[in-house]
Amino acid sequence: MKVLQVVGFQNSGKTTLVTKLIHKLTEEGIKVGTIKHHGHGGKPAIGDQGKDTGLHRKAGASVVAVEGEGTIHLTADASLTLDNMLALYEMLFVDIVLVEGYKNERYPKVVLLRDKEDLKLIKDLSNIEAVISVESLGELKYPYFTRKEEAAYLTYLMNAVRGQ
């Protein structure tokens, strides 16, 4: 199973890029899983209020799942590392996991920059696969694209995912 991280500061376009990659990958028949780091503090909202699974959680269940017609919704009160979550995804037979966030993990990364001030982010990261920026930043030691070069960076990232 391949893993590709999409990282950047808030409002840098991470979700937009992940969504575009999901569309491209699934068009090729590649089974995609995603993991988003909820980095804003607090628990993310869960959409099962008033449902049986919500009642199960409220009663104290730490892991709740509902399955119907081949779809599973899983909710867990657990502090899992990214590696633990990836192990779970491996059991679900996905071909690639796109990870949004988790800047300091070791997996190949696409770094999204809003402006030159965000260049400091590159110094702190490892395993950078490519950099995409709103504006031109000059020379970088990584494959680099501006957002206007969408076709080029999507082609590059698809080839990287395929191992080409």
29 part of a folded domain: yes
For residue 44, give the DSSP letter.
Answer: P
65 domain residue, yes or no? no
Whether 54 is covered by a domain: the verdict is: no
| Structural domains counted in the chain | 1
DSSP codes joined into one string, 72-107: EEEEE-----HHHHHHHHHHTT-SEEEEE--TTSSS
- Structural domain contains residue 147: yes
74-114 residue pLDDT tens: 888 788 899 999 999 999 899 999 999 999 999 999 999 99
**How far is residue 77 from each of residues 52, 63, 74, 92, 147, measured CA to CA in Å?**
17, 6, 10, 19, 37
Give the domain CATH number at 101: 3.40.50.300
- Listed in sequence order, the residues at least 6 apart from 142 whose beta carbon sits closer than 8 Å to its beta carbon are 111, 122, 128, 129, 130, 131
pLDDT 10s digits, 121-164? 998 899 999 999 998 888 888 999 999 999 999 999 999 988 87
SS3 22: helix
Task: Give 36's strand partners.
Answer: 100
Sheet holding 96-100, edge to edge: 32-36, 96-100, 2-8, 109-113, 128-133, 144-146
DSSP 3-state assignment of 42? coil
**In residues, how long is the chain?**
164
Q: Comparing C-alpha atoms, which of 13, 4, 20, 19 is closest to residue 134? A: 13
Does the pLDDT at position 23 exceed 90?
A: yes
pLDDT given at position 45: 56
Domain that holds residue 98: 2-38+80-162
Residue with tokens 């400091």: 120
